[in-house]
Chain A
């Protein structure tokens, strides 16, 4: 599948800048542009957040942020194109859970997203996904790959998570 190679290498390059040698158990998937894939990505995020000792609210927030990022990749990025994939990688470092979602779509300009909290946008039926991601994660980075978009979600390890890992 030659058209996937550039994206895969980009994902690897990007992760290489984020993850040091202490990173444990990196997990990555190549997924079809379907809602089933969105559900799978969300479920996997929940399992990983739980396994690494994030508290219940954080598990929910991480899973929801991943769901919204996956929806963006499938719906707005790849537009359900069966010939396009999206990629998701979960990496746990001692400091944070780092999740990267990459699509093969036309790219996203974060500056073009209207503020969903602005009075004129409050009653819009869409446009809250990136806002929710930013609300639920500690750090969010969006990179236009031309083509494609990479969104990196970072949740720092809290005291409870660190304690759980020591046990």
Chain B
């Protein structure tokens, strides 16, 4: 299952709805290109909705870390929304759960960005 993404704007925040697998190859590249495209347009307040992401491998974790770092270095914020249990567990064991700002309510997540 390939990764699909769609973006929408809510109160100045770009929400990226992701669906599928973030794994080495197509999935990781898709995520990288999506975030780069948004940053190129000056949209650096990004909420990644992972609610329909069924699987992430080590390459996908690396891509999330890279995206987080790139956005932060540009003065923006990247947060994660709606983790599945598998993804939640993966971020726990890699000690990244406390690195990312992780939300489970979209409205509250949007309001949490620095305006």
Contact = CB atoms under 8 A, between A and B. Distances in A.
A67 B59 CA distance: 11
A3 interface: no
A116 interface: yes
Contact of B94 (A35, A38, A60, A128): A128
A128 B62 contact: yes
Contacts of A35: 24-25
Contacts of B90: 132
Interface string B74-115: 000000000000100010011110010000000000000000
Interface stretch (A24-32, A81-89, A100-108, A119-127): A119-127
19 contacts: A35-B24, A67-B23, A67-B57, A68-B58, A71-B24, A71-B58, A75-B24, A117-B94, A117-B95, A122-B95, A122-B96, A122-B99, A125-B65, A125-B66, A126-B58, A126-B59, A132-B57, A132-B58, A135-B93
A64 interface: yes
B57 A60 contact: no
A123 B57 contact: no
- The residue in B24, B66, B69, B93 that gathers the most chain A C-beta atoms within 10 A of its C-beta is B24
B59 A131 contact: no
Interface in B15-43: 23-25
Interface residues of A, number: 20
A71 B57 contact: yes
A123 B99 contact: yes
Interface in A70-99: 71, 75
A126 to B, nearest CB: 5
Contacts of B96: 122
Interface SS of B by simple majority? helix
Contacts, number: 45
B95 A126 contact: no
A129 B62 CA distance: 10
B61 interface: yes
Given A35-B24, A124-B65, A68 B57 contact: yes
- The residue in A128, A129, A132, A135 that gathers the most chain B C-beta atoms within 10 A of its C-beta is A128
A68 B58 CA distance: 7
A123 B94 contact: no
Contacts of B58: 68, 71, 126, 128-129, 132
Contact of A116 (B57, B86, B94, B99): B94
Interface in A21-44: 35, 38
A117 B96 CA distance: 9
Given A35-B25, A64-B57, A125 B94 contact: no
Given A125-B62, A128-B58, A135-B93, 17 more contacts: A35-B24, A35-B25, A64-B57, A68-B57, A71-B59, A116-B94, A123-B65, A125-B65, A125-B66, A126-B62, A128-B61, A128-B62, A129-B58, A132-B57, A132-B90, A132-B93, A132-B94
